[in-house]
A and B are shown apart, each in its own frame.
Chain A
């Protein structure tokens, strides 16, 4: 069975958190959301401490919201992207982490194209490590901000019927959300082309289905990004066929259903323009939640909370 790490000063996987831990982060995020509404959007919680953002993959939302979150907590922030750094010159991940650790950062936020990268980094540095996406494995802060957005929209998640639609096979967002939403009491169904649903995904506790039949029963439809490169590997024959079978449009969206998407959206592929622009869409709220939730994660890890941060 899954071997849980002792709850340490890291956030590598949703498996690091129980329900109380998730709720504590979401509660903390509520108070930081209030800070983001002020004219001076800053609190001194991490003054004098350093947060390193180490991004081996291009990212707009995740990297900018981590940067803003750290700055709003008054931390010093160093951003390292693979372009133009020694990472590009073939330096190993281990050597990069040793180099950065010499600056004594309080936290390293890492995004990598490889599963397990954040966990490896945690073994090489005394800093707290936050997984900002590791390959197709996990993206825990995305799942936390999604849970935060949903909780704001509907209150408790218990018994909520959530459908996750699209390329589940290649989606770290899907995996972290299946775990986090179920832990919060929701029921999850994953739906997508049979070529893009992992074999034995049901072992995660969710249902799996190859058609949208039944999606009208869902309280929440969480749509994943469909990447064009999947056509090349013959996972789906064409974007047109994908859209015909899996696009969520006004027809599929019944009143009262909520629509989510981790961004960036392919308009007219996985979502129709009307669906994106409908009042049921929480897509903007998800982006907005990103900063408050990442502030909460940084705070809980670095400012010494009993739930997450067991002595560094």
Chain B
């Protein structure tokens, strides 16, 4: 039996979290925006037994006798976000993050589910490792977590993992994220094997020969700084190669964290030709460029790297059109000592769960580059690609929703981070769109901290 079936139907069978009491909650007078349901107006939302029990005109639903009322007037209520790409660092790097702290960060960012990558220590390349992770998630996870297993043993790109056994143990899909599957022959076999075991195969695309020892986008900024560049074609040539393989094998693949305009072109061509491909993009690639690397601040070091403004614009446009399906944070916590070193030496990655929506709302919606329903739709679509149900604000659906105050702004990092790590590329920025409440799988996973006095230190 596949772990995770809890009988209530609130949890997808490949998502795992701890059991929580699901009391009654009335969210009063929120502006409900759910593009899938066509909702865009003020409603009361009643949650009972973990499900949305009633939607009513604002102020019309009576307060539950034995429950709580959350006044959301002046705020928006969205279906909660789903992040198909996070690093929770368990097992092995719990000094950076663990399932408890990582899912707390997710809840603080308005997420009701996240999908964790397998490049841990040990790698999730064996059913016993996955079984242990599932057990940990059942004790610790504050929002449901799904797990990808690795495509190859030890992420070494040579031998396939026991993909069928890993699927039976609960894996949502497979990825060697952090590394490409450099060998076309090995990837082809994994795509063939998918016909037996199912599960989306997700790909981190970089050609190691073109990537070499690169530390940042290859372009005018790398020319100025004298740092080894990562050319855009190191990503796009692999998107093209693997689209061709997927098409040939009839396989289902997902491209992770696309960063380059050339990759968008390759993806468009693959879709035109009928390949079964999907793709994600991160908030940082949608909002920031390599110009920031001039500061030599290691918070701007990630893989794939921040690229040029023309790349950023191509990514925004691809997300708007739906060529890129969803937003993924690639939340990648790192210890301080791994970042407090010269740029070339620093670890690659930024945390992003707590800032994802606010960054996109502030940088893209407020500036008119994307509309709000598009951002909400793309931030909630990441699970569907892996066969999970999308969160919906509709009677009878499991309660997965978030209340956001678009007027409220905050300085990123000023009050610390919920994540165990602080390597955030948005650190110090003032962002709009503060998450006030997150309900995940029927119960409250995050509530905004309320300060007793103005200016008082949190907690």
A residues 80-102 in Cβ contact with B at 8 Å: 92-94
Inter-subunit contact A137/B223 (CB<8 Å): no
Pick from B265-273, B334-342, B436-444 the stretch touching chain A: B334-342
Contact B226 A199 (CB under 8 A): no
* A120 engages B223 (CB within 8 Å): no
Contact between A175 and B227, CB atoms less than 8 A apart: no
Cα A3 to Cα B226 in complex, Å, equals 17
**With A3-B294, A3-B295, A115-B296 known to touch, is A120 a contact of B226 (CB < 8 Å)?**
no
Interface membership of chain A positions 152-195, coded 1 if the CB is closer than 8 angstroms to chain B and 0 otherwise: 00000000000000000011100100000000000000000000
Interface string of B288-303 (1 = CB under 8 A from A): 0001001110000000
A60 CB-CB contact with B under 8 Å: no
Choice from A94, A114, A201, A203 contacting B343 with Cβ under 8 Å: A114
Q: How far is the CB of A15 from chain B (nearest CB, A)?
A: 9
Name the residue of chain A whose CB is nearest to the CB of B226: A136
Separation of A175 and B222 alpha carbons in the complex (Å) = 11
B220 CB-CB contact with A under 8 Å: yes
Query: Is A198's CB under 8 angstroms from B222's CB?
Result: yes
Seed contacts A92-B337, A114-B343, A115-B296; 16 additional CB < 8 Å A-B pairs: A1-B291, A92-B340, A115-B226, A115-B343, A119-B296, A120-B342, A134-B342, A136-B226, A172-B226, A175-B224, A199-B219, A199-B222, A199-B223, A200-B219, A200-B220, A204-B224
Residue of B223, B291, B294, B340 near A198 (CB, 8 A) is B223
Chain B: minimal CB distance from A129 (Å): 13
**In the complex, per-residue mask of B231-265: 1 if CB is within 8 Å of any chain A CB, else 0:** 10000000000000000000000000000000000
- Give bound CA distance, A95 to B159, whole Å: 42
Closest to A136 in B: B226
A172 to B319, CA, bound (A): 39
Q: Which residue of A lies closest to B222 (CB)?
A: A198
- Name the CB-closest residue of A to B223: A198
Determine the distance from Cα of A204 to Cα of B224 in the docked complex, in whole angstroms. Answer: 7
User: Which residues of chain B are near A92, meaning CB under 8 Å?
Assistant: 337, 340-341
Smallest CB-CB separation from B297: which chain A residue? A116
Q: Is B162 an interface residue (CB 8 A)?
A: no
17 contacts between A and B (CB under 8 A): A93-B342, A94-B341, A114-B342, A114-B343, A114-B344, A119-B296, A120-B296, A120-B340, A120-B341, A136-B227, A137-B226, A175-B226, A198-B223, A199-B218, A203-B220, A203-B223, A204-B223
* Residues from 88 to 143 in A contacting B, C-beta threshold 8 Å: 92-94, 112, 114-117, 119-120, 134-138
Q: Which size bracket describes the interface of B in this complex?
A: 20 to 34
Q: Give the CA-CA distance A136 to B229 in the complex, in Å.
A: 12
Q: How many Å lie between the Cα of A2 and that of B291 in the bound state?
A: 8
CB distance from A2 to the nearest CB of B (A): 6
Q: Which of A2, A135, A171, A175 has the most CB atoms of chain B within a 10 A radius of its CB?
A: A135
Closest to A2 in B: B294
Q: Does B448 contact A (CB under 8 A)?
A: no
Instruction: Indicate with 1 or 0, residue by residue over B200-236, a CB within 8 angstroms of chain A CB atoms.
Output: 0000000000000000001110111111010100000
Which A residues are in CB contact (< 8 Å) with B384? Answer: none
Q: How far is the CA of A137 from the CA of B341 in the complex (A)?
A: 16
CB atoms of B229 and A137 under 8 A apart:
no
Report the bound CA distance from A112 to B345 in whole Å: 12
Contact: B223 with A138, CB < 8 Å? no
- Chain B nearest CB from A227 CB (Å) reads 14
Minimum distance in angstroms from B13 CB to a CB of chain A: 46
What residue in chain B is nearest A179 (Cβ atoms)? B224
The reply to whether A135 and B218 contact each other, CB–CB distance below 8 Å, is no
Q: How far is the CB of B315 from chain A (nearest CB, A)?
A: 20
Q: With contacts A3-B294, A199-B218, A199-B219 known, is A138 near B226, CB below 8 A?
A: yes
Question: Given the complex, which residues of A lie within 8 Å of B219, measured CB to CB?
Answer: 199-200
Query: Using Cβ atoms and an 8 Å threshold, which residues of chain B touch A203?
Result: 220, 223-224
* Closest A residue, CB atoms, query B220: A203
8 Å CB interface, A5-53 against B = none
CA A137 to CA B224, docked complex, whole Å:
7
